[in-house]
Chains A and B, each alone.
Chain A
Amino acid sequence: MITKYIGRSFKRGCIQLVRRPMYFLLIVIMPILCSWFLMDLIKGGSVHLVPVGIVDQDNSSMSRLISRNLNGFQQVNISHRYNNFAEARDAVQRGEVLGFFFIPDNLEELALGGRQPVVSFYVNYAYYAPGSMQYKGFKTVSMLVNGGIAQVALRTVGLSNEKIASALVPYQSHVHMIGNPFINYNYYLNSTFVPCFLSLFILLVTAFSLGLELKSGLSRQWLKTSGDSMFLALIGKLVPQTVLFTAVGWFIQWMMFRCYDFPLNCNPWNMLIAMFLLVVANQSFAVLMYCFAPNFRYGTMLCTLLGMVSFSFTGFSLPQEAMYPWVEALGFTVPIKYYFLIMVDQALNGIDIYYSRFYYAALIGFTILPMLLSWRLKKECMNPVYVP
């Protein structure tokens, strides 16, 4: 009997999927296209050659050396030279350059006379990533100026090269960037943003396909095909989508880890299973939202809102410990957070799966949660009311 109901419910789910081209567009085409968009956009890897300006009021051999050195850096690219401060400021305001290096007049004279001239660099942090890169470049070059003068001075008094090196850089720091040694922006951003994008699609499609039953008033018939069992009805409706989304998710992972060489330091199965669990957890999450708000408009809005905001409150860009505690707590209410933590532990850091056990469990937990509340959805399905 049950197999008959499952079969009927499943058939209905498949027919609905096939008859609306929009589903195919949003389950298969758009997620892959959007993932490719994000990965192709940032394929350069790191922010470099930030267009900056230089104001050289000294025009001495030293100031020219500075600007030559600065242009030699990978981080910045001196695209414009300005005669004075006002011109440079105007260029920053027009967006022509993202910052500038200011060399005052008499720099060389004051420096050699030991009267401490000041060079300043104006960094536009309105553009965050280029701002940080500019700072790196500007800071290093101003250190080098100091070092250059000191080196000449120390050599004239007869110090050895080793002594000079240790006097100039007495503390050498070595920074080890675990898992992403090139500070590749693509690896960092897209290993989280792309799955988050996919989960947005999953939430939207699930919410839409549930809501459509309520809207069209066919929800009672939907329940009838599966023998008045909400569980079977949901299985029939969502499993065909699960299959497609999982296939798309795995394809996206293949793109990430094979085509774009994202770090994958674990057994690939750990990530493949995580992706499958992410798909199911997100579908269940959408069902859960419908159990809370069994109404097409509010159910879908809730899914949309959480799907969009999860790009921010799950701590991909601002780390969770830096957020307000309530925002941090909110982050743990969406499935993508756990996928993100699994990704960090497994793919990026390659640590033992033991440390990620709770995250896998949480994703499974999301799947169970709506079963407890499905009576609310069932009640609504028996008496569907559509509020436009």
Chain B
Amino acid sequence: MAEKLKHSKFFLWCIQVLRVCGRELLLVFRDTGVVIFFLVLNAAYPVLYALIYNTEVVRNEPIVVVDDNRTPESRDFVRRFDATQEAAVIGYAANMQEAQEAMYNKSCYGILHIPRDFGQCVGRGEQAHVSLYCDMSVMMRYKAYFTALSNVTLALGSEKLDAVVEPVLNMSGSIVESRQVPVGNPAMGIASAVLLFILPLVLQQSMILGIAMLHGGSIERRRRNGGRDPMAVEASPGATIIGKMMCHQIIYTLPVIYVLHYVPLMFGFPQNGDILHIICLAVPFIIAVSLMGQTLSAVVNERESVFLLFVFSSVIFVFLSGVSWPRYLMSRLWWLVGDCVPSTWMVNGYVLMQSNGATLYQVQHQYWMLWLQVPVMFILAYLVERFINRRRYRSWIAASEDNPNILTRIELAKNGVG
């Protein structure tokens, strides 16, 4: 029985898979460039990114006041405005020209203008007007000024409303109280919102870069050795793909836990997800990304061209995942393109888990979509390996048999020689 098993096709196939996996591990750890992508990038990049956004919110945004009224009422208004956490009055300007000059010199990014009749209107019980002029180069500045202004006008307004309504309704305070409960990201900070989107993406991109660089190295060896890679293991296309995929799974165990669990812990980002559930979600993600990386690496011809070909895609994938422009507003085309990328599902599942404390059951849609991508990506990787890569190697071997220097000569010609 054991003898029969030993010679069965399946057993031999498994041995091939394990040999490919072992060789891939060896290649990874012999190659500093790939180790940088697989381990160093995952260790350092999220920390760097988190540090950039770590201040989370905008506080004390400088503003200049033009007060044409100069009454106790206007001064009280400015004092209250200055007291908000979002804005800080850095000074009074005599007129709008002076205030504009301050804005042009970037001393402030907004102007608060109080018109001449402000105090009189307040005293007479009429509507008083204030104007805010703000620079729109960065939305968070506008948001800070806007929040500060609306909080001040609402607070002052409800005081006045009370004074009018109290004798009539015999009550003080507002009639219906309203309360905001920020969920998911209680600090309402930008780091807590953006970083959770970035973290799974770092995993995906580092892995694709590393896989493509390994493939580029293999192509370079083939070019030097007449179309043959001395480091490659003889195996069927399927076994090669699955063996490599296993290797990537093994290497990424630590980065996944570090990036998805410890980085939020280090910086105090929302961490309501259960680590086991997150790992369960990450398993199909890593498999799908490994297969996607193997598919895409077919376009790589040398190790370093991975920088050119794949780095910029991070920005595209991050936008497709819906970090700054929500997915429900995307056109059908971009929605569908986003659906094809593993990071879209992983990111949205991960954000729901970490921010809102969703369980794996609650993000099952994302989870199954990731599993659905696994066979699709496998078929793509198989087709690419079998019909593009291997066909190409065979043609190289055939060409090198006729002329041993042909491959290096083509490369030299590309570099401008001859």
Contacts and interface: CB of A to CB of B under 8 A. Distances in A.
Interface of A: 12-13, 15-16, 19-20, 22, 26, 30, 34, 37-38, 40-42, 44, 47-51, 90, 92-95, 98-99, 107, 111, 114, 116-132, 135, 138-139, 142-143, 145-146, 149-150, 153-154, 157, 162-163, 165-180, 183, 185, 188-189, 193, 197, 200-201, 204-205, 207-208, 211-213, 215-216, 218, 221, 296-297, 300-301, 304, 307-309, 311-313, 315-319, 321-324, 327, 340, 344-345, 348-349, 351-352, 355, 387-388
B157 A170 contact: yes
Contacts of A322: 55, 57-59, 61, 140
14 contacts: A22-B305, A37-B334, A48-B329, A107-B176, A117-B176, A125-B182, A135-B180, A142-B178, A189-B325, A208-B305, A208-B307, A319-B138, A327-B52, A349-B135
B168 A153 contact: yes
A15 B176 contact: no
Interface stretch (B121-129, B237-245, B397-405): B121-129
Contacts of B18: none
A117 to B, nearest CB: 6
Interface in B54-69: 54-55, 57-59, 61-62
B interface bracket (residues with beta carbon within 8 Å of A): 35 or more
Nearest to A12: B416
B176 A149 contact: yes
B210 interface: no
A122 B186 CA distance: 10
Given A170-B127, A301-B36, A327-B51, A315 B175 contact: no
B304 A208 contact: yes
Given A118-B179, A301-B36, A324 B414 contact: no
Nearest to A121: B180
Interface in B189-211: 190, 192-194, 196
Nearest to A50: B326
B336 interface: no
Contact of B304 (A127, A189, A300): A300
B52 A348 contact: no
A4 to B, nearest CB: 17
Given A44-B329, A122-B183, A165 B362 contact: no
A19 B177 contact: no
Given A47-B329, A125-B188, A146-B176, A114 B171 contact: yes
Given A50-B326, A51-B328, A355 B127 contact: no
B100 to A, nearest CB: 8
Contacts of A344: 135, 137
Given A41-B331, A188-B136, 15 more contacts: A16-B414, A42-B325, A47-B325, A117-B177, A124-B185, A125-B183, A126-B270, A128-B323, A150-B175, A170-B122, A173-B132, A201-B312, A300-B307, A309-B49, A324-B55
A51 B327 CA distance: 11
Contact of A166 (B125, B149, B156, B179): B125
B98 interface: no
A153 B176 contact: no
A177 B304 contact: no
A309 B183 CA distance: 29
Nearest to B37: A301
A93 B352 contact: yes
B142 interface: yes
Contacts of B61: 319, 321-322
B128 A170 contact: yes
Interface string B128-165: 11111111111111110110011011101100110011
Contacts of B188: 125, 131
Contacts, number: 357
Secondary structure dominating the interface of A: helix
Nearest to A154: B168
B308 A312 contact: no
B255 interface: no
Contact of B325 (A34, A41, A125): A41
A350 B270 CA distance: 41
B319 A176 contact: no
B181 interface: yes
Contacts of B128: 170-172
A41 B301 CA distance: 31
B357 interface: yes
Contact of B170 (A114, A213, A221): A114
A317 B319 CA distance: 14
A10 to B, nearest CB: 11
Contacts of A99: 183
Nearest to B31: A388
B35 to A, nearest CB: 12
Nearest to B186: A125
B356 A124 contact: yes
Contacts of B307: 204, 207-208, 300-301, 304
Nearest to B178: A142
A258 B165 CA distance: 53
A222 B397 CA distance: 31
A142 B178 CA distance: 6
A308 B311 contact: yes
B33 A154 contact: no
A48 B328 CA distance: 10
Given A215-B304, A327-B51, A119 B177 contact: yes
B196 A94 contact: no
B96 to A, nearest CB: 11
Interface in B351-407: 351-352, 355-359, 362-363, 365
Contacts of B194: 128, 317
Contacts of A49: 329
Contact of A173 (B150, B161, B302): B150
A309 B52 contact: yes
Given A119-B177, A208-B308, A318 B104 contact: no
Interface in B17-59: 31-33, 36, 48-49, 51-55, 57-59
B249 interface: no
B280 interface: no
B104 A355 contact: yes
B97 interface: no
B144 to A, nearest CB: 8
A165 B150 contact: no
